[in-house]
């Protein structure tokens, strides 16, 4: 089997080409992808070659962990999933490229346990479930945030989920005035306009080292949650010591987070709406990635694979 996939050949060089697929195994499903999202966090780092080294890292690679499609075939034990619309959090199924994270392709093969059945009505908004699950993972079982730093898609989903889960509306900081619009029931400001210094929980999704800015804004025994992706971070110890501050890292989402946000989207139908600002045919992947990484007006870029063989 073969598929057409987005391939990062080396940093700064992207192509759309055919790749071989490993054989279908028992318990696997074959998914025909309809839409895949472009991550402006991890995929930007992969594109620029700035992603910190970790197991599985290397080029050429297929990026993408926000794909949605329909199961068209299955191995023994997974036949019941044929026909289902599923969310794909990535795939490692290529014979001549690394799957990191492997979802940006027309056809993927993955274990059925990793293909999450979703409502087909979500359509092109469905790739946002990855970021919604990331937001849920940062919030689940913890104190709700008083302050969210960053008003991109993840910051907006964090604010929307905080309110949807019955908590008071958080404050959101955003330095890019073009991204300050679009709030739903919460205030967007910036650090210079905010004098508050008693935030109980701050969730940072900026991907920037802001700890020396955020720690002085905490209440005593306050918490900072790092929900973005960072290279290196540092902070002055005395202000954190005086506040008995906690710094928590929210890692990648888990299946339970996907299930939770799927339930919320069933109850609150517009949770994901108005966040996909750009949608482009997969054949124009080079232009799509340039727009996703370079245009501040692009909150979320989704590739449409429907015309790809």
Mean pLDDT to the nearest integer, 265-279:
91
Question: Which residues make up the CATH 3.90.180.10 domain(s) of the chain?
Answer: 2-117+277-304
**Which residue carries 């780092």 as its tokens?**
45
Mean pLDDT to the nearest integer, 230-243:
95
Question: Which residues make up the CATH 3.40.50.720 domain(s) of the chain?
Answer: 131-249
Q: How much is the pLDDT for 167? A: 95
**97 contacts 60 by C-beta, under 8 angstroms:** yes
Q: How much is the pLDDT for 59? A: 94
- Fold of the domain spanning 2-117+277-304: Quinone Oxidoreductase; Chain A, domain 1 (3.90.180)
Task: Give tens-digit pLDDT for 92-140.
Answer: 999 999 988 999 999 999 999 999 999 999 999 999 999 999 999 999 8
pLDDT at residue 239 above 80? yes
Give the percent of the chain with pLDDT over 70: 100
Mean pLDDT to the nearest integer, 269-276:
92
Q: How many helices (H) and strands (E) does the chain have?
A: 7, 17
**89 contacts 130 by C-beta, under 8 angstroms:** yes
- In sequence order, what are the beta bridge partners of 218? 199
Mean pLDDT to the nearest integer, 237-251:
96
Helix/strand/coil for 280: strand
**67 contacts 103 by C-beta, under 8 angstroms:** yes
pLDDT at residue 71 above 90? yes
Nearest to 151 by CA among 169, 175, 135: 175
pLDDT at residue 54 above 90? no
pTM of the full structure: 0.90
Look up residue 263 and give its two tokens: 């339930």
- Band (pLDDT 50/70/90 cuts) for residue 182 is very high
Look up residue 3 and give its two tokens: 């598929």
pLDDT at residue 236 above 80? yes
Phi, psi (rounded to 5 degrees) for 277:
-95, -20
Q: How much is the pLDDT for 52? A: 77
Mean pLDDT to the nearest integer, 286-301:
94
pLDDT at residue 196 above 80? yes
C-alpha–C-alpha distance, residues 170 and 178, integer Å? 20
Task: Give tens-digit pLDDT for 202-230.
Answer: 999 998 999 999 999 999 999 999 999 88
Average pLDDT, the chain: 94
Q: How much is the pLDDT for 141? A: 83
Mean pLDDT to the nearest integer, 186-192:
97
Q: How much is the pLDDT for 178? A: 84
pLDDT at residue 55 above 80? no
- Band (pLDDT 50/70/90 cuts) for residue 190 is very high
CATH class of domain segment(s) 131-249: alpha beta
pLDDT at residue 53 above 80? no
Instruction: Please compute, for residue 18, the number of CA atoms within 13 A of its CA located in the half-sphere on the CB side.
Output: 4
C-alpha–C-alpha distance, residues 24 and 51, integer Å? 31
- Band (pLDDT 50/70/90 cuts) for residue 49 is confident
């Amino acid at each position: 089997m073969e598929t057409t996939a987005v391939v990062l050949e080396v940093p700064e060089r992207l192509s759309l080409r055919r790749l071989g697929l490993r054989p279908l195994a028992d318990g696997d499903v074959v998914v025909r992808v309809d839409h895949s999202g472009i991550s402006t966090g991890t995929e930007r780092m992969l594109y620029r070659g700035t992603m910190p080294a970790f197991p599985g890292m290397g080029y050429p690679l297929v990026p993408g962990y926000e794909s949605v499609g329909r199961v068209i075939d299955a191995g023994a034990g997974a036949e019941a999933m044929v026909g289902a619309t599923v969310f794909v959090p990535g795939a490692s199924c290529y014979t001549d490229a690394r799957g990191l994270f492997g979802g940006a392709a027309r056809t993927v093969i993955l274990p059925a346990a990793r293909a999450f059945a979703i409502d087909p009505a979500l359509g092109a908004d469905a790739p946002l479930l990855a970021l919604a699950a990331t937001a849920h993972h940062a919030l689940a079982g913890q104190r709700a945030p008083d302050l969210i730093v960053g008003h991109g898609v993840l910051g907006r989903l964090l604010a929307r989920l905080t309110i949807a889960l019955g908590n008071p509306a958080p404050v959101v900081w955003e330095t890019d005035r073009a991204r300050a619009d679009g709030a739903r029931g919460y205030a967007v400001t910036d650090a210079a306009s905010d004098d508050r210094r008693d935030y109980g929980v701050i969730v940072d999704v900026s991907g920037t080292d802001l700890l020396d800015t955020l720690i002085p804004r905490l209440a005593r025994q306050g918490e900072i949650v790092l929900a973005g992706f960072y290279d290196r971070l540092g902070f002055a110890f005395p202000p954190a010591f005086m506040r008995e501050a906690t710094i928590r890292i929210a890692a990648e989402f888990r299946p339970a987070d996907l299930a939770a946000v799927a339930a919320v989207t069933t109850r609150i139908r517009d949770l994901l709406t108005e966040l996909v600002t750009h949608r482009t045919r997969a054949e124009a992947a080079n232009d799509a990635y340039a727009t996703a990484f370079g245009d501040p007006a692009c909150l979320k870029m989704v590739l449409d694979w429907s015309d790809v063989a």
